[in-house]
Amino acid sequence: MHKCYLGLLLCFFQYVIVAQQADSLTQSKTNNFSHFLKNKNIGWAGFAGFDMTPTMESFQKQIRLDISLTHERLSLGMTYSSLLGGLKQYVIFPSTYRLNAQHGGIILGIRIFQSKWINGYINTAYQWGQMVWEDPASKEYVFSSKSEGIKPEFEITIYPKFWLQLSTKVGYQQISKLELPQVNSADFSGFFYSLGLKINLSNEKY
């Protein structure tokens, strides 16, 4: 019986020692990772704003959200955009349907210049998503199609030393693989511009 208690006690102390070693190793790895991030100028940036994009011979507003990891001059992240308000049109007379569009994807960027008051970036987004003709009354999708797009753009941020910045963009959107009644890829391809706010917590050096 005493041997059993002694065995349990030894197992307990062994567990405590192993747990302390694991905690020390975890803490060491955490400190090393934090040191790595600090030394490598790694941070993150987010954008929230609006794109004015070509939509059937006019410009329609899209909400846009980006979030990226940054490393020195480079950034890599995710982007999302959604058409606001929708666009109504006769698709099958006399019914009127509303166009909705949502896209998401990856975005890659590089800072090409920096100064005291402005920074300049070149970004490229590759997106895929869906466009639909929706019945406004029932909210049902009557026609839908998957689509893909590529969006190279030039971005300027104002007052880059502050973490919250004004961002303006201009670029070109190329949509492909769209198969919907009354519209085609060319109806949504062309130049666009954008305005929004950018949160930049990158460890950039000036």
pLDDT in tens, 178-200: 988 888 899 999 999 999 999 98
Q: What is the DSSP letter of 160?
A: T
Residues 6+ apart with CB under 8 A from 65: 46, 47, 48, 79, 80, 81
pLDDT at 16: 46
| 164 vs 13: CA distance, rounded Å | 52
Q: How confident is the model at residue 129 (pLDDT cuts 50, 70, 90)?
A: very high
Helix H segments across 40-162?
none
Q: How confident is the model at residue 100 (pLDDT cuts 50, 70, 90)?
A: confident
Cβ contact 50:62 at 8 Å: yes
pLDDT at 135: 82
What residue ranges do the domains of the chain occupy?
1-39, 43-200
Cβ contact 153:124 at 8 Å: yes
| More confident: 69 or 16 | 69
| 161 vs 204: CA distance, rounded Å | 9
pLDDT at 138: 78
Residue 204 has pLDDT above 60, yes or no: no
What is the pLDDT of the chain when averaged over all its residues?
Answer: 82
Q: What is the pLDDT of residues 42-93, one digit of tens each?
A: 889 999 999 999 988 889 999 999 999 998 889 999 999 998 876 777 666 6
pLDDT at 46: 94
We find that the CATH architecture of domain 43-200 is Beta Barrel (2.40)
